[in-house]
Amino acid sequence: MSKAKLDLNAIPREKFEFANKGERLSDQKFEDKPISYFKDAWLRFRRNKASIGAAIIIICIILFSVMAPLFTMGKYDSKFMDPYYAKMGPRNLLLSKIGVAEGTVERKYNDRSYLLALAIGVGADGYDGNTVAISDATEKYMPIKKLLGVNAKSDPIMGDSYSITAEVDTYLNVGFIYRPIEQQEFEKIRAWEEETGIHVLYPLIDTESKYYPKDLDPKGINANYWYRANKKLHPLDERGKKIEYSEGTDFSDVTFTDNYLRDENGDLVYWKYTGGGTLETAQYNVRVLYYNWYLYQNGFEPEYLFGTDSQGYDLALRMAIGIRLSLLVAVFVSVINFVLGAIYGAIEGYYGGTVDIVLERVSDILAGIPFVVVSTLFQLHLAKKVGPIPSLLFAFVVTGWIGTASRVRTQFYRFKNQEYVMAARTLGARDRRIIWKHIFPNSLGTIITSSALVIPSVIFSESMLSFLGIVNLGGSSMTSLGTLLSDASSIWTTYPHLMIFPAIVISLLMISFNLFGNGLRDAFNPSLRGVED
């Protein structure tokens, strides 16, 4: 089949003229305004919803670390410690009204330990020696807030016993303690009691009485054994007979008989002289209800937003210190490694040849040194001279810049033979200008991403070293998230909040910085400049 040939000369010339020649098709004006590199990067970054969300989380964590002291409403600082309230759960008086952060936990008791807990609340009404039945005790001081379940068991030898599950306020469960004070402090407490109507001082216990459980407390140091009991802590009535629970699981009608110390006139004894030569310096040993003693000493009731750690520090403040420490170390390490790695990698990639081979061998030697070994040696020897944090920084910097240098080197090999670089070299541009003005900006996206990803890596490594005990960052004014996790590692099943809160923060930091770094990578990638989603 033959193909027809198109004869252009056969088409009239007028057919090639514009149909709308000289006419305005639209009044719309198109403007092309120049946009800076960083503004374009910001426009692309803010379109990445995951990175924006990660940035918000990071900002919130930073604000928490800075403003955490405000959450305590100025009540105490990060050095405030109370060993009696160690390992306590979250407690906030405002939130507790809606059933949140009440400071309560679920515990299992046998009948004796359950009655001991109830006796703390009943004993709070015994400041004047008058005790009441459990059902009539002041509810405010009762550690047992709710009875969740009771299982009664009968044994032919041991008799009836009970397994009791209850919700207990751990702050009230501390109960009574013995406290040495000066005589003038005793008078101040008495004046404060009269002014406020809140009782701090309670009668001493007759630890020499036959009704005191010496087998359980031979030295007489437990201030909660205030009622008459036998050797196994079964409560006794006024005649010294064991109280039987004839009504099964109903303990509400139990009335304790006090075992308070009295003088020869039968009056209650509230203090015992232990030494001192003058009225002001005389030392007294007194028995106090610790919850009210805390209120007397500090002027406010105990409340901790995240609970307390294993030593009695406020966990929220300790976490704030740990976050600040981790972020500062991570940012310093990231900046130092960024500078060192950029310079080292730029020299390698730009000059290549012998220079590259020699510098690469140096990097290979340093990269072969295990980080854990370096950090351990620095902590054993250098930390004694400069401190644990500077030695930790040195350990991170020794080999931390190698990854950044490798990425910069790769980028320089990629761009150094591009036409615009060759044109700049032809026009007489010096090496320094070509490196920092032409090649380095095109490598900035990858470099910034790697530097941002260094931050979560450093946080994880620092936490790991602290958790393993290689780096000792524990103290009254300094701690780290890894140290908090290490302290909680053996007791977290009983006190889960000690592990949960630091673990959540570390997880959020790791995930957020990775998403944030990915957003920076896309934002600073020159190949995506001006590209719309």
User: Would you say 154 and 140 are in contact if contact means Cβ atoms under 8 Å apart?
Assistant: no
Asked whether residue 11 is assigned to any structural domain, the reply reads no
Count CB neighbours of 256 within 10 A: 24
Contact (CB, 8 A) for 242 and 223 = no
C-alpha span between 109 and 289 (Å, rounded): 22
- Amino acid 274 reads T
**Which H or E element spans position 59?**
helix 49-71
What's the residue count for the chain?
Answer: 533
Query: What are φ and ψ of residue 107, in 5° steps?
Result: -135, 155
Please report whether residue 80 resides in a domain. no
Mark whether 155 and 241 lie in a shared domain: yes
Return d(Cα 442, Cα 436) in angstroms, integer.
10
How much is the pLDDT for 250? 67
Residue 318 included in any domain: yes
User: Are residues 260 and 339 located together in one domain of the fold?
Assistant: no
Among candidate residues 250, 266, 298, the one where a domain is terminated: 298
Question: Rounded to whole angstroms, how far apart are CA atoms 236 and 220?
Answer: 18
Do residues 102 and 222 touch, judged by C-beta distance below 8 A? no
153 with 210, same domain: the answer is yes
Q: How far apart are CA 525 and CA 519, in angstroms?
A: 10
Q: Is the pTM of this model over 0.85?
A: no
Output the CA angle 422-428-433, nearest 5 degrees: 80
Span between the terminal Cα atoms of the chain, in Å: 50
d(CA 205, CA 287): 8
Which two structure tokens, joined as six digits, stand for 424? 């700049």
Asked, for residue 30, whether it belongs to a domain, the answer is no
Q: Say yes or no: 292 and 318 in one domain.
A: no
* 73 in any annotated domain: no
Per-residue pLDDT in tens (0 to 9) along the chain, 533 residues: 455 555 656 667 666 666 666 666 556 555 556 677 677 778 888 888 999 999 999 999 999 998 887 777 567 777 888 999 999 999 988 888 888 888 999 998 888 888 899 999 999 988 888 877 888 888 889 999 888 888 766 554 445 567 888 999 999 999 999 999 998 899 999 999 999 999 999 999 999 999 999 888 999 999 999 999 988 888 888 888 888 765 556 677 788 899 999 998 889 999 998 887 776 778 999 999 999 999 999 999 998 989 999 899 999 999 999 999 889 988 898 889 888 988 898 889 888 889 999 999 999 998 888 888 888 888 888 888 888 888 888 888 888 888 888 888 888 888 888 888 888 888 888 888 888 888 887 777 677 777 777 888 888 888 888 888 888 877 777 888 888 998 888 888 888 999 999 999 999 998 998 888 888 877 776 665 555 54
Under 8 Å between Cβ of 405 and 341: yes
Alpha carbons within 13 angstroms on the beta-carbon side of residue 61 total 26
Pairing of strands 104-110, 144-155: unpaired
Token pair 């088409």 is found at 11
pLDDT at 501: 93
Q: How many domains does the chain have?
A: 2
Q: What is the CA radius of gyration of the chain?
A: 37
Residues 6+ apart with CB under 8 A from 7: none
Same domain (yes/no): 366, 469: yes
Per-residue CA distances from 318 to 54, 63, 136, 240, 354 (Å): 23, 15, 40, 50, 51
Report the candidate in 224, 246, 248, 244 with the shortest Cα–Cα distance to residue 236.
244
Q: What is the pLDDT of residue 24?
A: 63
Matching residue, tokens 């013995």 = 178
Q: Are 319 and 289 part of one and the same domain?
A: no
- Identify whether 308 is part of a domain: no
Statement to judge: residues 373 and 347 lie in one domain: yes
Short-list 450, 462, 366, CA closest to 403: 450
Q: What is the CATH number of the domain that holds 379?
A: 1.10.3720.10
- Distant-in-sequence, close-in-space partners of 512: CB < 8 Å, separation ≥ 6: 54, 55, 57, 58, 61
Please check whether residues 477 and 348 belong to one and the same domain: yes
pLDDT of residue 470: 86
Same domain as 294, residue 244: yes
Same domain, 208 and 252: yes
Within a domain: residue 68? Answer: no
Mapping DSSP onto H, E and C, the string for 424-484 reads: HHHCCCCHHHHHHHHHHHHHHHHHHHHHHHHHHHHHHHHHHHHHHCCCCCCCCCCCCHHHH
Instruction: Confirm whether 406 is domain-assigned.
Output: yes
**Alpha-carbon span 454 to 92, nearest angstrom:** 37
Query: What count of Cα atoms within 13 Å lies in the side-chain half-sphere of residue 323?
Result: 27
Q: Apex CA 34: angle with CA 31 and CA 37, to 5°?
A: 145
d(CA 44, CA 330) in angstroms, rounded, equals 26
Of 61, 511, 11, 20, which is closest to residue 320 (Cα–Cα)?
Answer: 61
Q: What is the DSSP letter of 240?
A: S
Among candidates 512, 472, 517, 466, which has minimal Cα distance to 489?
Answer: 466
C-alpha triplet 40, 41, 43: angle, nearest 5°: 65
Give yes or no: residues 323 and 469 share one domain.
yes
Residue where one domain finishes, among candidates 298, 331, 359: 298
**Domain termination site, one of 273, 298, 323:** 298
Residue-range definition of the domain harbouring residue 223: 91-298
Best CA proximity match to 400, nearest among 375, 431, 378: 375
How far apart CA 84 and CA 498 sit, in angstroms, is 16
Report whether 245 contacts 255 (CB < 8 A): no
Strands 201-202, 283-289: pairing kind: antiparallel
Return the amino acid letter for 139.
Answer: E
Whether residues 189 and 329 share a domain: the answer is no
Rounded to an integer, what distance in angstroms lies between the CA atom of residue 399 and that of residue 405?
10
